[in-house]
Structures are given as structure tokens and as C-alpha cells.
């Protein structure tokens, strides 16, 4: 009985995920490009990216469709095979719409002679439109934009460096405070030990004096008896 493949068993689903991501990028790129005006640097960048991504995505979708007939996928159930075919058709529809949006974006700028510049790949008109309408301005604007981006990056790195320096100073201050606290604790410990030693010594002295104070009457009596004995003997 045929068993449907899982994600861990079938590399087709992995390739489908990559292709779906590429198609999503193409769709989002066409939406962003439609919101820009012809002549803006972002418009030119997106046009170049889409010009490369759309054919690539179409090729990958076609490859996925062909792979459904490979021998390695022979155990797919009819339901799973039909589901994957629908997935491929969805990607194809999305790419078809993206390509139409791309072409409509080229003609929306009011350029003349569109049909005369179309090549076999279908993307030559865009190059003619951008080159004829902008001239050398896009390169100059792109260079300025790159310089602004570099300046923004440098400013961000500068700010990050300041934050790191401040954090280092804070860490150094915390380390110094910890060392001071440890030194204070050591001093307190030494003083406590010294006080305990003195207390023990004073306690010993008190016991010694107390013992001496308590025994002197006995020594006095002994001395008096000794003197009395001597007197009796002499007499």
C-alpha cells in the first residue's frame, strides 16, 4: 500500500520550501517596485533583482513539477501527488501575476517604443526604459545612496562603540567597588579576629587574678601557723 512521504523522507518538500520562499520574494519585490517611481534608485535595484529572480523561480517551479514523475516519488499516494501538483500550480500563478505586474510597471512610466526593445528573454524593455529615461543619473544616485548608507553604518558603529565604552567604564567601576567592599570585609574580619583574641586574653587574665585573690588568705594562715610553731619550739 503506498505510504505518503514525510518531510524527513522526501527532499521534494525541502526544495519546494526554498522555491516557495523565492516566489514570495518575487511577489513582495513586485509590490514594492509598483509603489516606487521610475528613476528612483530603489526602483532600479528592485528591477535588477526581479529580472534575475523571476526566471530563476519559474525554472525551479518547472523542475518541481517534472520531479513529481520521477521514480523516487513512485510511492506517493494519489491524494499527495495531486496536492503537490496544486502547490506547483499556485506557485506558477503567483509568478505569472508577478511577471505581469513587472511588465505593467515598465509601461506605466509613459515610455515610447516598448515593443521594439523586447528581447527573447522579455526583460530588454526595462533596461531601455531605465537607461533612456535616467541616463547616468541612476549610477550617480546609487553611489550617493551607498555613501549615505556607509555614513549611517559608520554613525551606528560609532554609537555602538560609545555604548560599549560606557559599559566598560561601568564594569570597571563595579569591579573597583567590589574590590573595595572585599577589602572592607577583610578589614572587618581582621578587626573581629583581633577583638576575639584580646577578649580571650583578658578573660584569662581575669581568671588568673581571681585565683590569686582567692588563695592569699590560705597562705596567710599557713604563714602564721609556721611562725607560731617556731615560737613554741624556741620557748
* DSSP for 115-147, written as a single string: GGG--SSS-HHHHHHHHHHHTTHHHHHHHHHHH
Output 128 or 69, whichever has higher pLDDT: 69
The per-residue pLDDT for range 114-172, each reduced to its tens digit, is 333 333 334 443 443 444 443 444 566 666 667 777 777 777 777 778 788 888 888 88
**Percentage of the chain surpassing pLDDT 90?**
13
The per-residue pLDDT for range 157-178, each reduced to its tens digit, is 777 787 888 888 888 888 888 8
The per-residue pLDDT for range 175-214, each reduced to its tens digit, is 888 888 888 888 888 888 877 787 787 777 776 766 666 6
Asked if residue 93 is part of any domain, the answer here is yes
Asked if residue 67 is part of any domain, the answer here is yes
Asked if residue 126 is part of any domain, the answer here is yes
Asked if residue 4 is part of any domain, the answer here is no
Asked if residue 26 is part of any domain, the answer here is yes
Asked if residue 68 is part of any domain, the answer here is yes
pLDDT at 6 over 60: no
Residues spanned by the domain of 70: 11-135
Rg of the chain over CA atoms, in angstroms? 48
What pLDDT score does 210 carry? 64
The CATH number assigned to the domain holding 123 equals: 1.10.132
pTM: 0.41
Average of per-residue pLDDT values in the chain: 75
What is the number of domains present in the chain? 1
Distances (CA, A) of 115 to 39, 111, 124, 130, 158: 21, 11, 10, 15, 51
Residues 6+ apart with CB under 8 A from 88: 61, 64, 65, 68
Asked if residue 57 is part of any domain, the answer here is yes
Asked if residue 204 is part of any domain, the answer here is no
Amino acid at each position: 500500500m503506498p505510504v505518503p512521504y514525510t518531510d524527513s523522507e522526501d527532499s521534494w518538500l525541502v526544495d519546494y520550501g526554498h522555491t516557495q520562499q523565492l516566489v514570495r520574494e518575487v511577489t513582495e519585490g513586485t509590490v514594492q517596485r509598483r509603489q516606487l517611481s521610475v528613476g528612483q534608485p530603489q526602483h532600479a535595484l528592485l528591477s535588477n533583482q526581479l529580472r534575475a529572480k523571476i526566471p530563476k523561480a519559474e525554472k525551479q517551479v518547472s523542475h518541481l513539477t517534472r520531479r513529481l514523475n520521477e521514480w523516487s516519488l513512485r510511492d506517493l499516494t494519489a491524494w499527495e501527488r495531486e496536492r503537490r501538483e496544486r502547490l506547483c500550480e499556485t506557485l506558477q500563478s503567483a509568478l505569472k501575476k508577478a511577471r505581469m505586474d513587472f511588465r505593467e510597471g515598465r509601461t506605466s512610466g509613459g515610455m515610447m517604443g516598448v515593443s521594439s526593445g523586447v528581447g527573447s528573454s522579455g526583460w530588454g524593455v526595462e533596461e531601455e526604459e531605465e537607461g533612456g529615461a535616467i541616463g547616468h543619473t541612476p549610477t550617480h544616485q546609487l553611489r550617493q545612496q551607498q555613501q549615505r548608507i556607509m555614513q549611517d553604518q559608520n554613525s551606528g558603529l560609532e554609537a555602538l562603540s560609545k555604548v560599549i565604552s560606557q559599559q566598560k567604564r561601568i564594569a570597571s567601576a563595579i569591579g573597583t567597588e567590589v574590590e573595595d567592599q572585599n577589602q572592607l570585609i577583610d578589614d572587618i574580619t581582621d578587626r573581629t579576629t583581633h577583638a576575639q583574641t584580646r577578649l580571650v586574653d583578658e578573660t584569662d587574665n581575669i581568671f588568673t587574678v581571681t585565683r590569686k585573690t582567692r588563695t592569699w588568705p590560705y597562705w596567710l594562715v599557713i604563714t602564721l601557723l609556721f611562725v607560731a610553731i617556731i615560737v613554741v619550739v624556741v620557748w
